[in-house]
Structure 1
Amino acid sequence: MPLVTLTVGKPTAPARRRAILDAVHDALVASGVPATDRFQRVLELDPADFVFDPRYPDLHADRGADFVLIEILWSVGRSVKVKRQLLTGLLAGLAAHDIDGEHVMVVFKETAWENWSFGGGRILHA
């Protein structure tokens, strides 16, 4: 039940946005998320509204207009091992589309299972 938010600079080509979203989804599915559990949104921001440090904490080359921020909100309980496997799969998927993983930041955010209602006010896991 992840909710993925992709933040990119404006303009970003629709094909690039879709390639990133597909790579995220493929990595999530490989980590055990059901294939039909796809909830994603894209924020495309003007440069003045998307502020980031070019090298923090240890990049070898500056981030630029191609910087990608991926936030994955999902239920608590995934191990560091699962997160590392997801990142490995994600970076491989991005590399297949010539997207430099050094310029991709991923943030995992976790919430309790009872904080999800997919519709009708029903909480499925409480």
Structure 2
Amino acid sequence: MPFVTFTVRRGLSSADKSHLSAAMLEAQVAAGFHRDDRFHRFLEVGPDDLQVDARFR
């Protein structure tokens, strides 16, 4: 069973998390994993915890 961890900015909406999870599940199914094998967790980080190039925001 694949276990997926998403690291996202703090405050991402539940709907956005659901969309990310659904997209990942479709990719997992396309790779041959069973549709019921959904084990996704979300770790939220604040602005001080994530260094991102300002051009890619």
TM-score, normalising length from structure 2? 0.87
Larger Rg: 1
Q: Deviating runs (4+, > 6 A) in structure 1? A: none
The residue aligned with 1:45 is 45
Q: Deviations over 1:78-105 (max 9, x none)?
A: xxxxxxxxxxxxxxxxxxxxxxxxxxxx
Q: Classify the secondary structure of the residue corresponding to 2:28.
A: helix
Q: Which runs of 5+ in 1 are unaligned?
A: 56-61, 65-126
Q: Counterpart of 1:12 in 2: which secondary structure?
A: coil
Q: Distance in 2 between matches of 1:51 and 1:45?
A: 11
Name the TM-score, length of structure 1 as normaliser: 0.42
CA-atom RMSD in angstroms: 1.4
Q: Output the CA distance in 1 between the equivalents of 2:56 and 2:9.
A: 12
Q: Which has the higher contact order (CA 8 A, sep 6+)?
A: 2
Residues 1:7 and 2:7 aligned together: yes
Q: Which runs of 5+ in 2 are unaligned?
A: none
